[in-house]
Structure 1
Amino acid sequence: MTMPARTRAKVCGLTNADDVAAAVEAGVDALGFIVDVPVDTPREIDAERAATLVADVPPFVSTVLVTMAEPDDIPTLHETVGTDAVQVHGDVTPEALDALAADLDASLVKTVDATDPESAHAYAECADALLVDSTDASGAGGTGRTHDWTATRDLAAGLDVPIVLAGGLTPSNVAEAVRTVEPYAVDVASGVEAEGGVKDRDAVRAFVGNATNAFDEVEEVSA
């Protein structure tokens, strides 16, 4: 029997150096830094703070700028922050995303709503990966809500780009989510927090372990 490929783990919404270090120590594959979003979130930081945190991330750990900025403003914002990839949220047309991809010296990830498979197919033509999330009316993620993983698995089977699974993931449910969807990666923010914008070191470690070893034993996190 061929085992599925190892699922990668991304921790999003890093706001301080201690949390970055804890995530790296836990074996995370990617770190997300939220900059320039028009929604109220304790995980947003300014571009200069993000650039400082990104500069201290060691080699072989990917960094991701997570933003809802206007497409025309994203290349300059990315140049300031200096991440390996850009994750775009919000109502951006496929045409605008395609133009952004041509101007951007980074991998491009587009967030899509789990309940809107048509947009996923449209964005798949111009994005390097799709992040399937439970979004709110603004198109932002971070809602803390799960969605139908079976439907996401079926969606992923019909797409030729890597799928990142997000939405309500925690250390306790991420292994089941990975076994159901078999995504390229999983993404967590609020599901590993001690409080808004501050990560819980034990929860981060358990999430990364359970995500990347989903076909082995699941580690529980004590409350």
Structure 2
Amino acid sequence: MDTKIKICGLTNPAEVEFLADRNVKYAGIVMFYEKSRRNNSPETAKPIISALKELEKNGIIIEKVAVTVSPTLEQLKIIQKLGFDIIQIHGELKDEVVTNATIPIFRAYNLSSDLVKENLIDQPKIKGILFDGKVPGGGKKFDWSLLKKFDKKDKLIILAGGLDESNVADGIKEVSPDIVDVSSGVEYLDEGKAGKDPERIKAFINAVVQTK
């Protein structure tokens, strides 16, 4: 199984060079969610998007994912204008957002003990289903056994929540996701240093590659 990697929570363009690996296929940028320490405005997102586009000159294509919580129609339009490839939606999924989306949607669910309640699996604009811990971006692992009976049909399954280099192999073996999503698990362990740690990103990628 060729599991893809999504590195989430980029906050500055310098971090993009850490992703220049052919196993990293998605980069997540948090948008319009001020509760997150990784939040970006359109102005701060632009240079990150530009840096990702620069990688394309070297043949490294990384899809740009706008990570949102209950986005409005106005926010969707801004995201699409900025040049994002995918919108990832936690919280409420508004009908008007689905109707007006011209880019694919990753629908995110924050699990405790309940599985998906929405009947959206046949919605063609939803290309992937992301499963995360109870709190968005909380870096907490959930009970992977909840996914054993989930019928993904033609959707991509994205496993998130508390993943790092020490447990991602177990997650791949148990869930068989199409994509593994990491954010806090590749950040500096030293709380005095913010942002992504290139050495932890390398370790995470190696753990995924060795599981294939």
Calculate the TM-score normalised by the size of structure 1: 0.81
Unaligned runs of 5+ in 1: 216-223
> 143, 146, 150: which is aligned to 1:148?
143
Contact 1:7 1:211 survives alignment (8 Å): yes
Contact 1:31 1:63 in 2 (8 A): yes
List aligned pairs for 1:191-210, cutoff 5 A.
Answer: 191-194=185-188, 195=191, 197-210=194-207
- Deviation per CA, 1:71-121: give whole Å up to 9, x if none: 3223322134311100011133xxx24x423312211111112333232x5
Q: Which residue of 1 aligns with 2:42?
A: 47
- Deviations, residues 21-50 of structure 1 (Å, cap 9, x unaligned): 1122474111000010142x2211111211
RMSD: 1.9
Aligned partners of 2:4 and 2:23 also within 8 Å: no
Contact kept in structure 2, 1:26 and 1:208, CA below 8 Å? no
Q: Distance in 2 between the 1:174 and 1:153 partners?
A: 17
Cα 1:213–1:107 change in 2 (3 A) is: farther
Give 3-state SS (helix, strand or coil) of 1:9's partner. Answer: strand
Amino acid at match of 1:130: I
Aligned length: 199
For 1:171 and 1:32, the matched residues in 2 are separated by: 18
Which residue in 2 is equivalent to 1:106?
Answer: 103
User: Structure 2: 5+ residue runs without aligned partners?
Assistant: none
User: Cα deviations across residues 114-146 of structure 1 (Å, max 9, x unaligned)?
Assistant: 333232x5232332111101133xxxx111111
In the TM superposition, 1:1-223 aligns within 5 A as 5-25=1-21, 27-39=23-35, 41-57=36-52, 58-59=55-56, 60-92=61-93, 96-97=94-95, 99-114=96-111, 115-119=113-117, 122-126=119-123, 127-136=126-135, 141-155=136-150, 158-160=151-153, 161-194=155-188, 195=191, 197-215=194-212
C-alpha contact 1:15 1:197 (8 A) present in aligned 2: no
**Between the two proteins, what is the percent identity of the paired residues?**
26
1:86 match: secondary structure: strand
Q: 1:18 to 1:81 in 2, by over 3 A?
A: same
Deviation at 1:69, TM superposition (A): 4.8
Cα 1:197–1:44, aligned 2, differ >3 Å: closer, same or farther?
Answer: farther
SS at match of 2:180: strand
Residues 88 and 118 of structure 1, relative CA distance in 2, 3 Å threshold = closer
After superposing on structure 2, the runs of 4+ consecutive aligned residues of structure 1 that deviate more than 6 Å are none
- Checking the alignment, whether the CA contact within 8 Å between 1:110 and 1:123 is kept in structure 2 is no
Distance 1:65 1:15 in 2: 12
CA distance in 1, matches of 2:114, 2:72: 21
Which stretch has the larger CA shift, 175-184 or 69-78? 69-78
